[in-house]
Amino acid sequence: MAKELPQGYRLGDFSIERLLSRNGLQAHYAAQHVGSSRACRLTVFNVDPDGEPWQRFRSDLGQLQALGHPIIAENLGSGSTPEGQAWAAWAQPPGEDLATRLRRGGALTLREALSMARQVAAALHAAHRIDVLHRALTPENIYFVRPAEGAPAADYEPTLLYGFGVARLLEGALDGVALVGQTEYMAPEQFTGLSFDIGPATDQYALALIVYQVLSASQPFHADS
């Protein structure tokens, strides 16, 4: 992975604000779209921007953008760094992800859990209809949007879904030699290495695990490996 990008560094129309998290495969940054001042999440991937996995990923981005589903985070752009790494940016309004919410407050109420599950399920269903899978649904990829100050009270908490296709992108860049993602949210077929077994049910399984977790404040499976 290339060195950390400094505050104010420009990638396309985006200005880096700070590093959020980083590992050997990707680095997540808080950034701002220069033209609109919109807050966004920008990810730099340790993949070849000329390679087939990245081109396939960008094709999926285009399909999702054309779909325009309100629960699927809006992609604002993509490109490559001067060092030859791929990057993509998504709109991210003020709020917090589900993982943060669970650490802060424990289990959700039944109403909160059903609201989140319905929104995420609708987004997954819409993506599946155009043959795009998520493959790495986790609490970190589910995001609660904070209502604007002075906005009227809503019957539900708006939710956004991030991370479509990222696991497939990174596994492709690694030539399939390693699983990418959090194994505690993976469906059994993801451990076999047979990609043709992976389908919409894979995402539905992960969502069911998350619903169990948000209602019970505990994951259904526990193991050392």
pTM over 0.75: yes
> Residues 23-49: what's their mean pLDDT?
93
85 pLDDT band, cuts 50/70/90, is: very high
167-215 pLDDT per residue, tens: 889 988 887 666 777 888 988 888 876 666 889 999 999 999 999 999 9
Please say if the pLDDT value at position 39 is more than 80.
Answer: yes
Q: For position 193, what pLDDT does the model report?
A: 63
**Residue in this structure with the two tokens 């999926």, named with its chain if needed:** 60
Q: For position 156, what pLDDT does the model report?
A: 79
> Residues 104-118: what's their mean pLDDT?
94
Please say if the pLDDT value at position 151 is more than 80.
Answer: no
Please say if the pLDDT value at position 110 is more than 70.
Answer: yes
Please say if the pLDDT value at position 1 is more than 60.
Answer: no
Please say if the pLDDT value at position 108 is more than 60.
Answer: yes
Please tell me the least confidently modeled range out of 19-28, 66-75, 190-199: 190-199
> Residues 154-175: what's their mean pLDDT?
88
Please tell me the least confidently modeled range out of 84-88, 134-138, 155-159: 155-159
Q: What is the chain's mean pLDDT, rounded?
A: 91
